Structures are given as structure tokens and as C-alpha cells.
A = this chain, B = another copy of it.
Amino acid sequence: MKTYRIRDEIVQYRFGEPLNTHSVVLDGKAIEKRELDYFQFKAADSNFQLQYKMDKEDIVWGLGENQRGMNKRGGIYVSYCMDDPHHTPDKKSLYGAHNFFVVDGTESFGIYIDFPGRVTFDVGFSHKDVLSIELVGKDADLYIIKGVNLAQIVRNFLMLIGKSYVPPKWAFGYQQSRWSYPDRKTVEEIAESFESYDMPCDAIYLDIDYMESYKNFTIDKEKFPNFQQFVENMKERGLRLIPIIDAGVKIDEGYKVYDEGIEKGYFCTDQNGKPFVGAVWPGRVHFPDFLNPEARKWFGEKYRELTDYGIEGFWNDMNEPAIFYTKRGLDHAIQQAKDSENTNLDIHSFFSLQEAFIGLSNHLKDYQSFYHDIEGKKVNHNQVHNLYGYYMTKAAAEGLEEINPNKRFLLFSRASSIGMHRYGGIWTGDNHSWWEHILLNLKMLPSLNMCGFLYIGADTGGFSGDTNAQMLIRWMQLSLFTPLFRNHSAMGTRQQEPFAFDEESVDIMRGLLQLRYKCIPYIYSEYMKAALKGDMYFAPLAFAYSDKISRRIEDQLLVGESLMIAPIYEENAVGRTVWLPEEMLLWYFESDEGEKYRILPQGFHYIEGNLDRPYIFIRKNKLFLMGNSGKNVEELNAEILHIIGFIPEQGSYFYYDDDGMSKDYLKGIHDELNIIIENKKDGYSIQVEKNGNPEVKEIQFEIVNGWGTLEKKTVQIF
């Protein structure tokens, strides 16, 4: 073990000779240190184990995209990126591998396992007080991260792994997807519906069927004729098209990507050095070796095929990589079927036969049977499995940077591991239209933020299965604040667009979409500050409040610095209980009937929340910003800002904005307003200081004081 000091709060422990995953951006200086802090270390022949004895009250935060609570205690989690479309509560691996968590108790610290192979976290499952981590391998970097409090531990970690990806501003608009809108005509009809229903929207997605035979970087010209003109037309209507890119490249002579990949040796190879064959959507494919820098560059440049049409955003899919089957597995299963013919299968042989077919996909044996070329060394895929999606997205990001260096593209991925957060966002994969998945969505958000992923969101309404109007409305009430707000659903399920339901529900959904656009000034400002400062956008209450109850609340979130949300996620509920760690302002967005706002003291409260009455909580002495709605993000009129504040004493807000398109923000180029407000004896004093050239010309304040009196003020910005 070698030890390095990165910062006072960060120590790196190096075991063996780990591969550089490039997930960490800071270097350290060698120091003398014999023992790992906190953990007992146990090495075996081919792996090693860490153990930590938890105190009864310890909470464990983090681990990104995973099942169970925000507090991960009680579960087993396996970091091994997995295309598993059944997100039942017992699943140990989803699409991401996010090896960072924080222990929060008598001892508080974070640990990051920088290791690209399989890692198992048993967080008090086998024994309630034992946290154990097992790595399949012996070469790894461990980082122990300290800080004065939870938020600071996470900030220190985010500093270690570098700044998060920033999408273009239009990507904070609403986005509509389906597997699949099968042709140009359907996409155009969807666009028309958004217009005729007066629902704002920024993007429509193209799932796998836009391609010719599922071949990456091709267009099915029959179903999508005149693609360039189509892209342009849609953009004139204010809508961007977002095509999917899959990891696998169809084996098809004459198909350029295939031919080039073969010619240049850019595909992963089998043990004989031949391109490895798996089967995914197109049938048999090869997998680009994204871990080879040359292959990565080559694949990244292929995105130009689509950007040349005017495409400005992509979602990278199937990059765990998903493998539906291989010849190995299929031959074996078919043989077992043949052997079973005309026999009286007893129940064991029957289940074994069934399992041979059920278990074909994403088989460990297949992952163990192909190789990457890493600096001339043949590395078995299984050892670096969790880097594959990360490096595919890195390939895309670097390619897009090449294509247009100062332009922000929308880019997100299904598979991920820490490090990828610098190159793109993620969506949380193929969830279900289950009420339980609204809550799971909520719980994942801060956990992902802790691991660096800021541009995130789930398939609103649920991907698999059928939603109903009520479920979609409740889900939208949560997605109102997720940076990525996309509605996506699977083939064979009910139409899930916000206009596909009864009139009353459609009216409510229209209101929610318009509300989203009104909230974009706040969402964008908070997102950008989190991205630039290396902070979280969503946080559990425990990150700001240390009382005993706040530590245990897992169905409310802090959003940015001013808001707390407590969405309803139960069918037929007309309200819910909410914990207020301090006095807050309950604010109903829709106020045609009933109260508009109420100050609530610390404590539990039952909050009425009919479907048509979304609400937020504004924290004490904080300000919340809203703009107007519009057809899409670009058409938002930013001249008038509406600020709602709950200011018993005084508060301030730093409003961030920028061009939303370029990477100039990295040079510090942006617009800002510094708003300071003070409740004085003779009323509120408001100061607004401007830097750069914010578009805002006027701010309309609605300020509630400690007695519940609302005061309106308008301030002109010169």
C-alpha cells in the first residue's frame, strides 16, 4: 500500500498497480502512513475486503444509482453496470457503478473506491452493524475523504473528481420520448400536438427505430425521409431531435462503421484476437473498444454524421454493454432444448431449461470472454466492465468537442461510473410505471448528486408498463425540478404524452409543463452554481439540518439553496405529512381556489395537495425565482423575474445566468444579479447588484414576513 495526501481532507491509498480510470482529477504527494483509516483490511488470493463496524445510529449516504433508501443501510449493492429492466427492490446492480459513500455518525467520512471491476457493498445486510466492501481484484485506489460536515465531505469529493457536465440551457426544458416514434410523420404529429395543446416542449427523442437496421449513425431514409430538412423544420418549430446511439456496431459488410472498425482493429476481441460477437438490437454486433484511445477518437468523430444534419443532442444507450445473447449461450440453451425433447422433464430439469433461456442476457461468462486493448495490453473486459459506458460517453463528448469546441451538446448515458459525470448526464434507465418508482426516483437524486452526476432524471411516467393520468401527474410534480425532465415509455405500453389522457388531467399536465418553464431561472441558476462550485443540487434534509428527524426523512428533498420539496407519491392521496426542520413558507403555485401560502412552524404537518395544486416550501430567509412560461426555453422572456421570498429577517440570492449555449461559462463569462433583502422597521429594503448583462429588466417581489403578511415590490434593473 502506498499513501498520498491530496488535500488535508483527502488521503489516497494505493493497492497494487491500479489502472488509471481518470475518474479523479487531483494528484497527491506521497506520505508515510501504514494503516487505512476506519477500515479493517483483509486481502485474499484474488480480491480484498474492507470492513467497518457501524454504530447503531450511523447512516450511510451515497452509492448513486441504486435501490433502497437514501440511507443505504440494510442492503447489498454490487457495482457492476447491468442492463436489468426489472428494477424490483431486491436488485443489487442497476446501470451505474458509483463507488462513493459517506458514513454519517460518531465518525463521519467518505470513501471512494476507484476500481473498474466488480465491487460488493454489504451495508449492514448480513450483520446489521457491519459494513463490508469486497473488490474482485487486488489493484485499486481508495480515497478517504473528510470534512467538517456531510456537505463538506461531499464537496471535497466533488473537488477530487472534477466539475460536472453542463448541458445547453434548452436541455432544461421538457422533453418527450417514446420507444419509438416510428417515422417522421409521427414525430411531426407529436410536435403538432404540443403546439395545439399549448404545451411547451424543447425536444423529441428518436429511439432505435430511426436507424437503418439499428446501425449507429445511419438514418432509415424511408421512415425519416429528407432528414436534414426534417431536423431544420423541427428546429424552426422550436424542437430539437435527440437520436439514440447504441454501443454495439452491427456486423454488416459495406456498413462504414463496421468496415472501418474491422479494418482498424477498433473492436473488442475474443481470446483468439478476433472481434468479439454479441447480439443486441441489430442481431450480431461487435463492441467498439472505448478503452483504446484511438478507437474512442474514431467512434467520437462518428457523431459528426448526425451533427452535420443539425443534431445537437444524443443519448448513449446499451453501453453496460448490454448483451442480449451470444452464440455460446444460445447454442448451449438450444442444445439443452434439443436434449429435453420427448423426456418427462422433472421440475429441476424444467427450471434448468427455462433458466438457460431466461439467463442468456448479460451473462458473466460473456463479459469474461472478451478483451480490451489498453496501452497495448490485452485486458479482460470483466476487470474493467464499469468503464465501458463511461468511456463511450467520453468518446462522444470528446468527439463533439472536436466537432464544435465551444458548443454545449446535450449528452447523457445509461451506463456510467464516476468520472463520466464530467462528460455527460444520465437517465436512470428502464424503470416502470409503478408508484414505488416515483419514490425510488426521488431517493436516487441526491445519491447521484453526491457521486458527481448533476444532469439527471428518470423516465417520467415510467418506461415499462402502463401509467395512469394520476401517476403521471404526480411524477411530473417531482420531475418539475429534475434537471432532465423527460417523459419516455416503452413499446406496447399506453401512450404517455401529457395530452394522451382525459381533459381534466391534460389541463393539469399543461399547467405543470408551463410551471416547469417558469421555474427554469431558478433551476438553471442553481444547477450552474452547483456545477461550477462542485456542490449538490438535490440534497437530503440531513445535509442542511442536523436534528434527529431530518436525518431520517427520505421522501423530501432540498432543491438548490431556497427550496424544499415533498411530492406526493401514493395513489389516490390528497395530501401527505411533511417534516419541517424549521419554519418555512408553504407556497401553492395554483391559487384559483383556497389558500396561496402559509407559514408553517417546525414540526410535522399534513399538507393538502390535490392533483391540481402543486406546492413547494420556501426556506426561511431565502428567495425563490420564477420567470414566465413560453413555447420553449429559447423563447422564454427573461426580462421580468418574479421572486417569492420568505424573509422574517434578511436574505440574499445570487442569480446566475449565461448564454446557455457556449462553454464561455468555463472562462467565468456569465451574468449575475446579487439580490439582498432586509426586513426593516419601515418595510423591506432591497438591493440588486448586477454583473455582466443579465436580460432581467424588472424584478417583481412577493415577500412574506414572519407574520405572514405578503408585501409586493417591483424593482427595475438598470
A: which residues have CB within 8 A of B?
Answer: 59, 68-69, 71, 73-75, 86, 88-90, 124-125, 127-129, 214, 279-284, 324-325, 330-331, 333-334, 337-338, 340-341, 344-347, 350, 353-354, 356-358, 360, 432-436, 465-466, 468-471, 501-502, 504-505, 548-549, 552, 554, 570-575, 577, 579, 604-606
Contact = CB atoms under 8 A, between A and B. Distances in A.
B334 A571 contact: no
Q: Which 7 A-B pairs have the closest CB atoms?
A: A337-B337, A357-B357, A577-B577, A89-B434, A283-B346, A71-B572, A90-B465
Contacts of A605: 604
A125 B69 contact: no
Contacts of A469: 128
Nearest to A553: B573
A129 B468 CA distance: 12
Contacts of A435: 89
A325 B341 contact: no
Count of this chain's copies in the oligomeric assembly: 2
A504 B56 CA distance: 11
A325 B337 contact: no
Contacts of A549: 575, 606
Contact of A69 (B127, B340, B354, B570): B570
A468 B572 contact: no
A441 B267 CA distance: 50
Contacts of A333: 337
B502 A128 contact: yes
Contacts of A75: 468, 571
Given A468-B125, A571-B69, A575-B552, A433 B90 contact: yes
Contact of A347 (B69, B280, B433): B280
A468 B127 CA distance: 8
21 contacts: A73-B572, A74-B468, A89-B434, A90-B432, A90-B466, A124-B468, A127-B502, A128-B468, A279-B347, A280-B347, A324-B350, A330-B340, A333-B337, A334-B337, A337-B338, A337-B357, A354-B358, A354-B360, A436-B436, A552-B572, A554-B570
B357 A345 contact: no
Contacts of A279: 345, 347, 350
Contacts of A89: 432, 434-436
Contacts of A465: 90
A554 B569 CA distance: 13
B505 A128 contact: yes
Contacts of A501: 128
A570 to B, nearest CB: 7
A128 B324 CA distance: 38
Contacts of A284: 344
A338 to B, nearest CB: 6
Given A324-B350, A337-B334, A436-B89, A73 B357 contact: no
Given A71-B571, A74-B571, A552-B573, A283 B344 contact: yes
A604 B579 CA distance: 11
Given A283-B347, A604-B604, A470 B128 contact: yes
A450 to B, nearest CB: 17
Nearest to A469: B128
A396 to B, nearest CB: 23
A156 B88 CA distance: 40
A344 B279 CA distance: 9
A596 to B, nearest CB: 21
Contacts of A69: 570-572
B338 A325 contact: no
Given A69-B570, A90-B465, A549-B606, 10 more contacts: A89-B435, A125-B468, A128-B470, A128-B502, A128-B505, A214-B347, A283-B346, A283-B350, A353-B357, A552-B575
A471 B604 contact: no
A408 B574 CA distance: 45
Q: Which of A124, A353, A360, A575 has the most CB of B within 10 A?
A: A353
A324 to B, nearest CB: 6
A353 B75 CA distance: 35
A588 B345 CA distance: 54
Contacts of A436: 89, 436
Residue among A59, A340, A468 with max Cβ neighbours from chain B (10 Å): A468
A606 B549 CA distance: 9
Contact of A358 (B341, B350, B358): B358
A372 B73 CA distance: 53
Name the residue among A128, A435, A504 with the largest chain B CB count within 10 angstroms: A128
A432 B552 CA distance: 25
Contact of A74 (B59, B470, B579, B604): B470
A266 to B, nearest CB: 22
Nearest to A125: B468
Residue among A433, A505, A574 having the largest count of chain B Cβ atoms under 10 Å: A574
A133 to B, nearest CB: 17
A493 to B, nearest CB: 10
Given A552-B574, A577-B577, A338 B334 contact: yes
Nearest to A462: B90
A547 to B, nearest CB: 12
A237 to B, nearest CB: 31
Nearest to A464: B90
Contacts of A214: 347
Contacts of A504: 128
A496 to B, nearest CB: 13
Given A347-B281, A347-B324, A74 B434 contact: no
B338 A68 contact: no
A125 B435 CA distance: 14
A698 to B, nearest CB: 40
A318 to B, nearest CB: 11
Contacts of A59: 572
Contacts of A128: 468-470, 501-502, 504-505
Contacts of A86: 88
Contacts of A345: 279, 283, 325, 330
Contacts of A471: 74
A68 B571 contact: yes
Nearest to A126: B468
Contacts of A575: 549, 552
